[in-house]
């Protein structure tokens, strides 16, 4: 998939996925019970064209900032100028991890932060709709929008297959 990806900008985000009641029951399969129901999260990275390049399946209650460093480790950032994320990823440790790879972090500071958003490229931040569109395309697949698989590996394989279908028309 990554042979024709445009790595100039990379966008990262996560999306909740409800898990079907019969999918739960086995420990350590990235399904957690929250106030609503059982859920998982897809942590996704897309290229500058909005095509998925990497993902991680996580449980539904762990905050994105704890999982995204693992996603960044999976990415090859040699060609990447800027990595964009939303306010939920506002963490100095995450920024340092991104900047250690010679890539700029385009993550807005939260409103309670003492520093300003002078570092932000707001034009590029508005293009974040590419990752939201990628999640919308992924969730067109019924087995992705609701997790029916008990095993994390089976669900990850389904997500990978859906990503391949997204890449096929190219």
Identify the pLDDT of residue 170: 66
Q: Model pTM?
A: 0.88
Q: 38-46 and 9-19 as β-strands: parallel, antiparallel, unpaired? A: antiparallel
77 backbone dihedrals φ, ψ, rounded to 5°: -105, 20
Summarised one tens digit per residue, pLDDT across range 80-138 is 999 999 988 888 899 899 989 999 989 888 877 767 777 888 888 889 999 999 999 99
What does the chain come to in residues? 170
Distance CA 142, CA 131 (A): 19
Q: Strand (E) positions, 47-91?
A: 52-59, 82-84
Summarised one tens digit per residue, pLDDT across range 34-62 is 776 888 999 999 999 999 999 999 988 88
Summarised one tens digit per residue, pLDDT across range 137-153 is 999 999 999 999 888 89
């Amino acid at each position: 998939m990554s042979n024709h990806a445009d790595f100039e900008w990379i966008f990262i985000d996560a999306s909740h996925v409800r898990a079907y009641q019969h999918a739960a029951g086995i420990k350590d399969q990235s399904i957690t019970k929250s106030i609503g129901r059982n859920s998982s999260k897809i942590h996704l990275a897309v290229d500058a064209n909005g095509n998925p390049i990497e993902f991680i399946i996580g449980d539904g209650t762990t905050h994105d900032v704890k999982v995204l460093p693992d996603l960044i480790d999976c990415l090859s950032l040699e060609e990447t100028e800027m990595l964009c994320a939303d306010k939920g990823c506002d963490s100095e440790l995450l920024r340092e991890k991104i900047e250690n790879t010679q890539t700029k972090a385009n993550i807005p500071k939260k409103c309670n932060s003492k520093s300003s958003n002078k570092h932000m490229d707001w034009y590029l931040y508005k293009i974040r709709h590419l990752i939201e569109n990628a999640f919308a395309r992924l969730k067109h697949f019924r087995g992705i929008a609701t997790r029916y698989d008990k095993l994390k590996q089976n669900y990850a394989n389904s997500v990978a297959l859906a990503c391949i279908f997204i890449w096929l028309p190219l």
